[in-house]
Amino acid sequence: MTDVLRTELDDRGVLTLTIDRPEVKNAFDGRLQEALTSAFAGVDDSVRVVVVTGAGSVFSAGADLNWMRSAVDASFEDNAASSRRFEAMLAAVDTCPAPVIARVNGHCLAGALGLVTCADVAVAVRGSLFGFSETRLGLAPAMISHYAVRRTGIGAARRYLLTGERFDADRALALGLLVDVVDDEAALDAEVATLVDAFLAAAPGAVRDTKRLLATIAATPDPRDTVDARVELISRRRVSDEGQAGMAAFFARQPVPWASDAR
């Protein structure tokens, strides 16, 4: 835990990360980036699911204004180093071995929306606003662009990353940025709990292996290029302890060993 990021790990292995800068609408600065990078990079086998959210009524408004001001007088080299640190944060979220749920409790703009595109699933409360707003400041959504295009497709990206316009949660859902939109915070908590239970109902090793496979497939769209990886994975899972226990439980009509982890 830091003064900008609250962390809580429960006895089921659910790690909740709460961006805790409500006085500046949970805006990103160097400290928050470092805290998020460290938290995601530190996820080990004890963590089954990660939930990331914001304190208060905003997920994150994007970059901290004071942090942005410091970039005005920074050199090209300093800006490049800062951008690489931001990429390290995005990559840590994207490659987190455990599934990541973004609990979007309010407005989510610019770099914060980039973070959401790196989560496995995201759910938002209706009334939240979204936007890749960099071009309206004369900048470019360069660091988040790869993750955004992968999530929305190039067609939607040509509109929203170029115009910087804001859009609502229902449009974010239609663009594939979210898996659901709910009406209020109570419903948001209920939907996140449902998603957490769904992940906990699956075998932890199988989830991690499948997440790695999906990353490989995303980078290698021709199925002929992933045959060996897919054959190796299913063969290894069938002889693994989890695979053997899961199949035995299925045929015996008994609960799987990891089922008690879900509520």
Do 148 and 161 share a domain, yes or no? yes
In the prediction, which pLDDT does 123 show?
98
Do 20 and 82 share a domain, yes or no? yes
In the prediction, which pLDDT does 201 show?
95
The residue among 199, 216, 246 that closes a domain is 199
Tell me, what CATH number does 256's domain have? 1.10.12
**DSSP-based three-state secondary structure for 121:** strand
Residue 19 CB coordination number (10 Å): 25
Do 230 and 121 share a domain, yes or no? no
In the prediction, which pLDDT does 261 show?
52
Do 98 and 221 share a domain, yes or no? no
In the prediction, which pLDDT does 122 show?
98
Do 219 and 166 share a domain, yes or no? no
Residue 154 CB coordination number (10 Å): 9
Task: Kindly give the confidence (pLDDT) of every residue in the chain, 263 residues in length, as a single tens digit, with 9 standing for 90 and above.
Answer: 689 999 999 999 999 999 999 999 999 999 999 999 999 999 999 999 999 999 999 999 998 888 877 778 889 998 899 999 999 999 999 999 999 999 999 999 999 999 999 999 999 999 999 999 999 989 999 999 999 999 999 999 999 999 999 999 999 999 999 999 999 999 999 999 999 999 999 999 999 999 999 999 988 888 899 999 999 999 999 999 999 999 999 899 999 998 755 44
Do 225 and 99 share a domain, yes or no? no
Residue 56 DSSP label: T
Q: Which two tokens stand for residue 261?
A: 């982890």
Distance, CA of 170 to CA of 178 (rounded, Å): 9
In the prediction, which pLDDT does 63 show?
87
Amino acid in position 222: D
CB 47 within 8 A of CB 10: no
The residue among 151, 174, 199 that closes a domain is 199
H or E element in which residue 52 lies = strand 49-54
Q: What is the DSSP string of 180-235?
A: EEESSHHHHHHHHHHHHHHHHTS-HHHHHHHHHHHHHHHH---GGGGHHHHHHHHH
In the prediction, which pLDDT does 192 show?
98
How many folded domains does the chain comprise?
2
Do 159 and 221 share a domain, yes or no? no
Do 172 and 226 share a domain, yes or no? no
**pTM of whole model > 0.85?**
yes
Do 159 and 247 share a domain, yes or no? no
Do 226 and 191 share a domain, yes or no? no
Do 143 and 225 share a domain, yes or no? no
The residue among 176, 199, 222 that closes a domain is 199
Domain containing residue 219: 203-261
Distance, CA of 232 to CA of 235 (rounded, Å): 5
Do 166 and 228 share a domain, yes or no? no
